[in-house]
Amino acid sequence: MASTSNPGNPGHEVTGRKLDEMFDAGEDVLDYFDMEHAVVEHHPPLEKRVTFTMPAWMVSALDEEASELAISRNAVVNTWIAERLRRDHRRASSSNQE
């Protein structure tokens, strides 16, 4: 496991797990980070916005399902699409093994 040294106390090293424990206990862990040379990583968003056009009856059906499940319309759409993609992936995987 990798360790990090304390620049203010070079002989004092801690593991990532120990650093997590110290942080969770409310201890000040900033001395273990080089704030003068901080690196900020920028990652692309994991989500993409998609717009659907559908008949009003479909939107009403989605809203009814969302209300029944106490979730958003968006959550219903995401769940249904994910279920279908998983099912199709499983079907494709099993047919490739034959």
* pLDDT value at residue 94: 84
* pLDDT value at residue 38: 87
Domain span at residue 27 reads 3-37
C-alpha radius of gyration, the chain, whole number: 24
Asked whether residue 91 falls in the same domain as residue 60, the answer is yes
State how many domains the chain has.
Answer: 2
Asked whether residue 33 falls in the same domain as residue 65, the answer is no
* pLDDT value at residue 73: 97
- 3-state secondary structure at position 13: strand
Global model pTM greater than 0.85: no
Identify whether 46 is part of a domain.
no
- 3-state secondary structure at position 52: coil
* pLDDT value at residue 54: 97
Identify whether 74 is part of a domain.
yes
Mind listing the pLDDT tens digit of every residue in the chain (98 residues)?
455 655 555 556 889 999 999 999 999 998 888 889 888 888 888 888 999 999 999 999 999 999 999 999 999 999 999 999 999 999 988 887 76
Whole-number Å distance between alpha carbons of 63 and 40? 40
C-alpha dihedral sign at 17, 20, 26, 28: positive
